[in-house]
């Protein structure tokens, strides 16, 4: 855990970081967030994550109260203070403080929190051998009800319900369908299947979050000359796929060994999955916004 956090414009010791019990995020899940990885002293895809954060806030009519450049600088400054080399950055923004559902009752600023911490989602053995995934009964919320492209606090109660289901059967992940029965995403990851050398992943309108890692892997695959198609598919397509893998900020790229007891392909990470895992690791080893050095200072304006 980092020694310090950023809270509403100030850097304070993490054990002194407190928000009001009247905070709208605490009371109603009224807020947005991002999780961002740091590798080798570089924050990976920082600007892409900040863009999504500000788009999510705009869609919910939340005024963050800091420019994107100011928040970017705060994230880098906090990482330097905590001496981060590798880790996880969590940015949380709630609408502000007020009792009562109506956003018009909030007169003060948004609550903005930045934290650094360590994160290891899956054991190394699962990257080598693959995950066992189980389809859960909890469905992805209807897009007419909860816009899937908004990374909101309240949306994730469905993902937590799905994770509880997966945990009850000791599955590595829970696979969620949309209300039409098409494959959407896992509790915290996007899903890809490989059939005859072609990579297929659900489109945004299937109810998925447009993952930053998802988009990165699509780019890496196309750079390797692989065909990537965004299309709907069912569990039958997953069961009979040659390969299957998941992507996410925390998960990175992780292979799937079984789904609902069906062995995927040969039952171990396939060549396409292995190639993309390696390409992603190479990219994260050298890419990102530097936290330390002259380039970092110049980029953020923070000494």
| Residues with a known catalytic role | 151
Rounded-to-integer distance, Cα 45 and Cα 23, Å: 29
Contact between 183 and 175 under an 8 Å Cβ cutoff? The reply is yes
Contact between 105 and 144 under an 8 Å Cβ cutoff? The reply is no
Rounded-to-integer distance, Cα 35 and Cα 85, Å: 16
Rounded-to-integer distance, Cα 81 and Cα 11, Å: 9
Rounded-to-integer distance, Cα 204 and Cα 208, Å: 5
Q: Which helix (H) or strand (E) holds 71?
A: helix 68-81
Rounded-to-integer distance, Cα 180 and Cα 110, Å: 36
Task: Give ∠ CA 155-160-165 in degrees, rounded to 5.
Answer: 140
Q: Which of 176, 194, 3 is nearest to 84 (CA)?
A: 3
Q: Record the tokens describing residue 74, joined without a space.
A: 């705060």
Helix (H, G, I), strand (E, B) or coil at 280: helix
Rounded-to-integer distance, Cα 160 and Cα 177, Å: 15
């Amino acid at each position: 855990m980092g020694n310090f956090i950023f809270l509403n414009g100030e850097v304070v010791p993490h054990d002194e970081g407190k928000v009001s019990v009247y905070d709208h995020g605490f009371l109603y899940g009224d807020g947005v967030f991002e999780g961002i990885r740091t590798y080798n002293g570089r924050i990976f895809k920082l600007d892409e994550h900040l863009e999504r954060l500000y788009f999510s806030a705009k869609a919910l009519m939340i005024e963050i109260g800091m420019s994107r450049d100011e928040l970017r600088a705060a994230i880098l400054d906090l990482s330097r203070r905590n001496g981060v080399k590798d880790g996880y950055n969590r940015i949380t923004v709630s609408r502000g403080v007020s009792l009562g559902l109506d956003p018009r009752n909030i007169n003060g600023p948004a609550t903005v929190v930045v934290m650094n911490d360590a994160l290891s989602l899956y054991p190394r053995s699962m990257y080598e051998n693959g995950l066992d995934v189980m389809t859960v009964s909890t469905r992805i919320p209807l897009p007419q009800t909860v816009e899937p492209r908004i990374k909101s606090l309240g949306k994730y109660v469905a993902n937590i319900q799905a994770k509880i289901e997966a945990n009850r059967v000791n599955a590595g992940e829970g696979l969620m369908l949309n209300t039409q029965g098409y494959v959407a995403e896992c509790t915290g990851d996007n899903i890809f299947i490989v059939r005859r050398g072609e990579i297929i992943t659900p489109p945004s309108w299937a109810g998925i979050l447009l993952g930053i890692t998802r988009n990165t892997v699509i780019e890496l695959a196309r750079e390797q000359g692989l065909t990537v198609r965004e299309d709907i598919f069912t569990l039958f397509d997953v069961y009979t796929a040659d390969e299957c893998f998941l992507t996410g900020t925390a998960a990175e790229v992780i292979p799937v060994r079984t789904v609902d007891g069906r062995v995927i392909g040969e039952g171990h990470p396939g060549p396409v999955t292995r190639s993309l895992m390696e390409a992603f690791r190479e990219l994260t080893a050298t890419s990102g916004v530097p936290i330390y050095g002259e380039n970092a200072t110049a980029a953020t304006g923070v000494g």
